[in-house]
Amino acid sequence: DGGITQSPKYLFRKEGQNVTLSCEQNLNHDAMYWYRQDPGQGLRLIYYSQIVNDFQKGDIAEGYSVSREKKESFPLTVTSAQKNPTAFYLCASSAAGVGQPQHFGDGTRLSIL
């Protein structure tokens, strides 16, 4: 089935450690996005990529990094510089074309040990 796969579902990080969240899509979508959701709040955009080898910062990019070496993959690294990393992280993708909707994965929940 076509879709967006995020792994792992749950992730624990020690203080000072970098961790990488995986996002893979087999929808042949050009654009991919990373959002962060905190309890009881809406989603905030971290990074997005419109095409392979290109990406832009969203509203809360500090402490995060991404890469887009392949069309189907958009991994997110949460660095030790991110002071408040505990959150629910959501990856999305969308097809080319005006107004195309974003489709989401099931998320990764990151917690600090």
Partner 1 sequence: DAKTTQPTSMDCAEGRAANLPCNHSTISGNEYVYWYRQIHSQGPQYIIHGLKNNETNEMASLIITEDRKSSTLILPHATLRDTAVYYCIVRVATGGNQGGKLIFGQGTELSVKP
Contacts with partner 1, residue ranges (CB under 8 A): 4, 6, 30-31, 33, 35, 42-43, 45, 48, 50-51, 56, 58-59, 88, 90, 92, 94, 96-107, 109
CB of 19 to partner 1, least distance (A): 19
Question: Which residue do the tokens 């450690």 mark?
Answer: 17
Structure tokens at 111: 């917690």
Closer to partner 1 by Cβ: residue 35 or 64: 35
| CB closer to partner 1, 22 vs 50 | 50
Residue 33 structure tokens: 């996005």
Report d(CA 63, CA 113) in Å as an integer. Answer: 18
Pick 34 or 78: Cβ nearer partner 1: 34
Q: 52-65 in b/e burial notation, b at 16+ Cβ within 10 A?
A: eeebeebebbeebb
Question: Smallest distance, Å, CB 16 to partner 1?
Answer: 28
